[in-house]
Chain A
Amino acid sequence: MTTATISPAAGNVFEARGLTKTYGSGALRFEALRGIDLDIANGESLAIVGKSGSGKSTLMHILALLDSATSGSLTVAGKDAKSLTTQELNRLRNQEFGFVFQQFFMIPNATVLENVIMPLKIAGVDASERRRRGMEVLELVEMADKAANRATNLSGGQKQRMIIARALANRPRAIFADEPTGNLDSATGEVIEDLLFDLNATQGITLIIVTHDEELAARCQRRVYLKDGLVVDSGAVSASGVRA
């Protein structure tokens, strides 16, 4: 079995063609996405920008293989998303993707380290290796001294750094960040942004940020603007085009 792996050399990590997503039916029918074409190159940083209800979160969920499109095609690391088995999907999300959410989504009563090693635990990494890699990523986000603290006792910025450490634990090739600074004050938010863009620059991790924050979006190499489920504008800094 050839597993879908995002190799650093690969051109496009994601290739979406005519993605649509429809919720409900009849009178309640709601089209969240109405035909999205989007290529994301390996190692780039991309902002998906839009107001709430524009379909940006839905698009991210589909790209992250958390949801499936109603129609259209999606290729992830050269493989058709529809052809992936549940196991392959789980493996991809676990090994290749990292997730950073606005609401953190952590296990409140567990320690920082326990939260960080969750993806490793799911991956079946043994306990001592989990600890080693957990401390390694906590070191990276400068949270090693908080490893034994309860997650709830952290400040907002610390929580988000912990979540980034968690997203990094399995050494992913792509990080999905949904409003990563939405719950943080601007100074803290900037620290988090620096951290994310630094990872993108130094480790070549593909960064896909969903946001309505123009300033954050401006720091990305490329921006895709969504409105009512369609790409309305794309500001490309890099040469790679957007087939909007």
Chain B
Amino acid sequence: MNLAEILRTAISNTFRSRLRTTLTVLAIFVGAFTLTLTNGIGTGIRNYIASQTSSLGGDDLITVMKASLTEQGGFGPSSEGPTPYDPDKTMLSAGPGFSFEALTDADIAVVESIPGILEAEPLRIVVPDYVQYGDGTPYELSVNPSPPELSVDLVAGAYFAPRGTYDATADGAVGGELYLPVSYVEPLGFASPAAAIGSQVTIGVSDAFGSQHLVTARVAGVQQASLFGDSALLSHDLSESLFAAQTTGLPEAVTAVYQSATARFAAGASQAQVDAIKQALGEEGLAGITMADRLGSFQTVLDAIIGVLNAFAVIALVAAGFGIINTLLMSVQERTREIGLMKAMGLGAGKIFGLFSAEAVFIGFLGSAIGSLVAIVLGSVISDVLANGFLSDLQGLRILSFDWVSVLGVILLVMFIAFLAGTLPARSAARLDPIDALRYE
């Protein structure tokens, strides 16, 4: 009996006691179904976050700030004790009672001097009052503080012209370009996202003395609603224009301090290289946070939740494993004579073991394949319904996504559990003494 013959025989044996096989397969089905679904949710959310975060900023960016800023983040006693006062620290006031150590142009130069850093630029925080199209209703506008180069999900329009190539005068004294969140399109008075492209909107911004300045901006694109809120992304030129208007009349000592800076390193840099950059920043009293760091904590929470869900599914599978043991032990009992006969006719113990193991694995395969298939079909339907239903605000979110690697992983895992469960009955079958088995009544 070769392997193919053993498999064929095992499969046909599986169907000899249909009801029992069906019930065992059902138990595995439940486990595999659950596991595929929970995995699907994990994949779906992970995919969504990945697509969302590609809009948050490239993997080649690192946000730099004073190290003290990150150290003060936690509550509770600091192991280092109180920090001595340093009158030379540059502090940035962020409203009454709240100030923090800020970056200066000197710090930016230091950052740029660090090997591996291609360029660094201070983060301009601009706080526009409103945005208005023509004589329409003005709406408050929040600004995405990310660098303008990041790849945003555009519904319509095109990406910003490369830095320094935008000819403001050609469009008629425009401060720069912006991507408008899709939710602003209708309220501002545009018929459609496409209609907004190329239009000029007016942005109002107040300076420290309370006088309002108007800056005109060209709508370069309309961006998809995202998990990270409805905020507009500004081109470099527009940021500069708005910042200039916002800081009208202020001395440079006030305008040349920054909460943070964005530095770019070579795209595709290894983790070791990024770590080296962080190390170098640390030696300068600075701290760097990459996108991966920010996502890390979020991902960890997500993975933990999916992990717990998966654990439940695996518990169901372990229970199903006992079902397999039970089913096969009954089979061995029922087929004792047949096993004895086959052994008397010269079938080796190893092949008997193989027969029953293969049967267990096949039962596992049946349960997991059917379970995964049903989960995928049902999950896709549910996911479609939800995407058009109460998750429709989160565009691009497919709560259940299935990638074949993880589905295959589930099936293989279940088959492995089934194999483990099958070893016990298979062993007792293989150990049967042919004479005892043939005497067995």
Contact of B337 among A67, A105, A109 (CB under 8 A): A105
Chain B residues whose C-beta falls within 8 Å of the C-beta of A61 in the assembled complex:
435
Say whether A107 faces chain B, with CB atoms less than 8 Å apart: yes
- A122-B435 in contact (CB<8A): no
Chain B residues whose C-beta falls within 8 Å of the C-beta of A94 in the assembled complex:
345-347
Interface size class of B (residues with CB under 8 A): 10 to 19
A selection of 9 A-B contacts at a CB cut-off of 8 Å is: A90-B347, A94-B346, A99-B341, A101-B438, A105-B338, A118-B341, A121-B1, A122-B345, A123-B346
Most A CB contacts (10 A, CB to CB) among B1, B345, B347 go to B345
Question: In whole angstroms, how far apart are the Cα atoms of A107 and B345 in the complex?
Answer: 14
User: CB within 8 Å of B: which of A55-109?
Assistant: 61, 64, 66-67, 86-87, 89-95, 99, 101, 105, 107, 109
Q: How far is the CB of A133 from chain B (nearest CB, A)?
A: 15
Number of interface residues of A (CB under 8 A): 24
Contact of B346 among A93, A105, A109 (CB under 8 A): A93
- A99-B2 in contact (CB<8A): no
Chain A interface mostly: helix
Question: In whole angstroms, how far apart are the Cα atoms of A197 and B418 in the complex?
Answer: 49
CB-based A-B contact count at 8 angstroms: 50
Known contacts A94-B346, A118-B345, A123-B346; is A66 also within 8 Å of B338 by CB?
Answer: no
Question: In whole angstroms, how far apart are the Cα atoms of A94 and B343 in the complex?
Answer: 9
Who on chain A is nearest to B349 by CB? A86
- A105-B435 in contact (CB<8A): no
Say whether A119 faces chain B, with CB atoms less than 8 Å apart: yes
User: What is A's interface to B at a CB cutoff of 8 Å?
Assistant: 61, 64, 66-67, 86-87, 89-95, 99, 101, 105, 107, 109, 118-119, 121-124
Question: In whole angstroms, how far apart are the Cα atoms of A105 and B434 in the complex?
Answer: 12
Chain B residues whose C-beta falls within 8 Å of the C-beta of A105 in the assembled complex:
337-338, 340-341, 438
User: CB within 8 Å of A: which of B317-362?
Assistant: 337-338, 340-342, 344-349
Q: How far is the CB of A191 from chain B (nearest CB, A)?
A: 23
Who on chain A is nearest to B16 by CB? A109
Known contacts A105-B337, A124-B1; is A119 also within 8 Å of B346 by CB?
Answer: yes
Chain B residues whose C-beta falls within 8 Å of the C-beta of A101 in the assembled complex:
438
- Beyond A87-B348, A99-B344, 11 extra complex contacts between A and B, CB < 8 Å: A66-B435, A86-B348, A90-B346, A92-B346, A94-B346, A109-B16, A118-B342, A118-B345, A119-B345, A121-B5, A121-B9
